[in-house]
Amino acid sequence: MAEFDFDVLVIGAGPGGYVAAIRAAQLGLKTACAESRETLGGTCLNVGCIPSKALLHASELYEEAHSGALAKFGVNVGKTTLDLDQMHAEKVKAVGELTGGIEFLFKKNKVEWLKGLASFTSANSVEVNGKTVTAKNIIIATGSSVAPLPGVEVDNEKAIVVDSTGALALPKVPDHLVVIGGGVIGLELGSVWRRLGAKVTVIEYLDQILPGMDKDVRKDGARIFKKQGFDIKTSTKVTGVSVKGKKATVTVEPAAGGDVTNIEADAVLVCIGRRPNTSGLNVEAAGLSTNDRGLIEVDHRMQTKVKSVWAIGDVTPGLMLAHRAEDEGIAVAENIAGQTGIVNHDIIPGVVYTHPEMAGVGKTEDELSAAGVAIKIGKFPFAGNSRAKANRDTEGFVKVISDANSDRVLGVHIISSLAGTLIAQAAQAMEFGATSEDIAYTCHAHPTHSEALKEAAMAVQGKPIHM
């Protein structure tokens, strides 16, 4: 009789968990995955990355047709109407296709899905739906949840004060949406409802939106959002939200203190961040503890201080991004299998899927300056890019930061309708230790938006061609 039920048990079937389970099974390990949702894919596929991108895309199509922007291309559209129910239906269809796809991959790779919440009973066992399951290795991949704002009650069913999950399913376009939090999620979801007709007010406690991004992206991003009609209130603190009938009143004051004002809204979106899903796991039974932020500390191999327990993704310190969790899922499975799984946490791209998109990889200018690193910077605007000009899509720029001594690229930051795709080339170049000269002397197809990255790299050398 086998000592353990499984070689690997993964807790959580989000982007990190399901990838870890599939990779472990591919490596010949008997694998199970515990997941309490009715569908696989975690927050990302069910109520995060995927449904939000479906709505972002649909709302972009609606605005393009409704605004008359196509007329300059000779495309004349008649009266445009919004069928929000159909838009939601198409979103649900996309989610269903992808979550169903993971279930198919589990069956294909012989990963056993244990349906239910899992909690530790020892370093090698968990309880799922009243049944004890043992495993030689256990991977914690339970992800994160919306962080609450003290004193503000979220009720997604009433669709007045909602979190990101509720904002994906509003039954009607609000006349006025107040977004609490000027980070990635708030701006993306705010973009959806602004394009569909809502007035959108963004309230951010800090003095700029998009904390953590390069200062040029933050500054130009704020200009673009205001140009699009966002009312952005920075250095502003929310002190309360009250609901009366179908309306909400948001009470705010300057972050530094001052006069209190009220903002009336039809819907309020609370998105001030996320917190790790570690409560309820009973990690103490496995000999573990969490830090003051509820996170589980791991080494470079994603192994905890308990040899049989590993952790990946949002439950560990680092960027809360699906693709980071996916890469860690592959690496941790390979480490368990005796191979060498590595994730370069210095080169993980981040993308804001607004229009235009905003993306960055590596260090920001401020981070490098604070560290005392001598740098060179090259910037190139899309106004000088031929494909962008032909498409009448010239908002944004590419910024390349390199080491002043070695010329090695340390960071790339982009605003463009294609920033999320363009950043991949920058990440790959940096993974191979490229210099700005390497990028500058790499032939890029013409006419493409990617030429802007080449020109920004040439600008580091002080020799861009088209500006």
Per DSSP bridges, beta strands 357-362 and 409-416 are antiparallel
SS3 210: coil
Neighbours of 151 (CB within 10 A): 10
CA distance 313 to 18: 12
188 annotated to a ligand binding site = yes
Name 122's Cβ contacts closer than 8 Å, sequence gap at least 6: 285, 286
322 annotated to a ligand binding site = yes
182 annotated to a ligand binding site = yes
CA distance 150 to 66: 39
Sign of CA dihedral 7, 112, 98, 145: negative
CA distance 89 to 81: 16
40 annotated to a ligand binding site = no
288 annotated to a ligand binding site = no
273 annotated to a ligand binding site = yes
Instruction: Output phi, psi for 294, to 5 deg.
Output: 80, 10
Among residues 444, 446, 449, 466, which one is catalytic? 446
Provide the residue type at 38 as one letter: E
Q: Which two tokens stand for residue 324?
A: 């980071």
209 annotated to a ligand binding site = no
29 annotated to a ligand binding site = no
144 annotated to a ligand binding site = yes
Tokens 């200018």 sit on residue = 365
Q: Which two tokens stand for residue 377?
A: 């910077």
Name 288's Cβ contacts closer than 8 Å, sequence gap at least 6: 120, 296, 304, 305, 306, 309
183 annotated to a ligand binding site = yes
Q: How far is CA 434 from the centre of its chain?
A: 26
Q: How far is CA 372 from the centre of its chain?
A: 29
Tokens 């401020």 sit on residue = 366
341 annotated to a ligand binding site = no
185 annotated to a ligand binding site = yes
SS3 393: coil
Work out the end-to-end distance of the chain between its first and last CA atoms, rounded to an integer number of angstroms. 72
CA distance 135 to 9: 6
Active site residue 176: no
48 annotated to a ligand binding site = no
323 annotated to a ligand binding site = yes
Q: What angle do CA 325, 328, 332 make, to 5 degrees?
A: 140
411 annotated to a ligand binding site = no
Tokens 């933050």 sit on residue = 218
204 annotated to a ligand binding site = yes
What does 103-146 look like in DSSP terms, one character per residue?
HHHHHHTT-EEEES-EEEEETTEEEETTEEEEEEEEEE---EEE
142 annotated to a ligand binding site = yes
Looking at the chain, how many residues does it have?
Answer: 467
Scored b (16 or more CB within 10 A) or e, 274-290 reads: bbbbbeebebeebebeb
Per the annotation, where are the binding residues for NAD(+)? 181-188, 204, 273
Catalytically active residues, by annotation: 446
Per the annotation, where are the binding residues? 53, 142-144, 181-188, 204, 273, 314, 320-323
Per the annotation, where are the binding residues for FAD? 53, 142-144, 314, 320-323
